[in-house]
Structure 1
Amino acid sequence: MTAFPRKPALLLALVVLTDLATGPACAQSTVAEGEKLAFDRGKGNCLTCHVIKGGDLPGTIGPELKDLKARYPDRNDLVAILTDETKRNPQTMMPPFGRNRILTEREINAIVDFLQTL
């Protein structure tokens, strides 16, 4: 009966090791997903208002999206902007993607992962 308590510990160790092994690959896939969403004219639609390196036919209503990791070292600031910028700036033209359920929390986080690479 002493072997039974070890099974959950072994399972936990396997989960942690699997998570460590897939971490960078998972991060790369969320960056790629975020880029796809940001450039998607029907979903994130960031190019309607922003210049983004690699994007076609950008708008100029919003600021150019570059050096965002330096400008927003706390990724939560970018999450908040995408979720509902009207909380910080009621006069903003930025759509409240999270509040209006245009983007899911997972999609917002993927876009932020991508934006932090710019």
Structure 2
Amino acid sequence: MIPALTLVIGIAAAGSAQAQSAAAEGQKIAFDRGKGNCLTCHVIKGGDLPGTIGPPLADIKSKYPDRNDLVAIVTDETKRNPLTVMPPFGRNRILTEQEINAVVDFLQTL
């Protein structure tokens, strides 16, 4: 029988590994010029040839402590700000819900 504490630690470690994997996938999508293409408009640590149309993406978790707010922005910022130039990645099916969640996982590491 596995002691409860060992089981909890094992589950937490697996969850952490999944979060790191999702964040790594999100970074790949965000930096992909044919997919997320976030670097076209934003400065992101580790990204090459960033644009300056949008704000630098840093300290995201402190700026958006509610993950759902960030998901909503990436999905369709026009709902919150009709004058935005940010593409509605979810509404226009540029990214899937899973891809948006991976990008948000990555953004929350910045």
- The TM-score with structure 2 as length reference comes to 0.88
Q: For residue 67 of structure 1, what is the aligned residue in structure 2?
A: 59
In the TM superposition, 1:70-81 aligns within 5 A as 70-81=62-73
CA–CA distance in structure 2, aligned partners of residues 24 and 86 of structure 1: 33
Unmatched segments (≥5 aa) in structure 2? 1-6
Alignment of 1:1-118 (within 5 A): 20=11, 22-118=14-110
Deviation at 1:102, TM superposition (A): 0.5
> CA-to-partner distance for each residue in 1:38-61, whole Å, 9 max, x for gaps?
000000000000000000000000
Query: Unmatched 5+ residue regions in structure 1?
Result: 1-15
Separation in structure 1 between the aligned mates of residue 63 and residue 20 of structure 2, nearest angstrom: 21
Q: CA deviation at 1:23?
A: 1.1
Matched position secondary structure for 2:104: helix
Q: Which residue of 1 aligns with 2:3?
A: none
Amino acid at match of 1:68: I
Supply the AA of the counterpart residue of 2:35.
Answer: K
Which one has the largest radius of gyration? 1
- Larger RCO: 1 or 2 (CA < 8 Å, sep 6+): 2
What percentage of residue pairs aligned between the two structures are identical?
A: 79
- Which whole-Å CA distance do the structure 1 matches of 2:45 and 2:14 have between them? 28
Give SS of 2:89's match: coil
1:56 aligned partner, one-letter code: D
RMSD of aligned Cα (Å)? 1.5
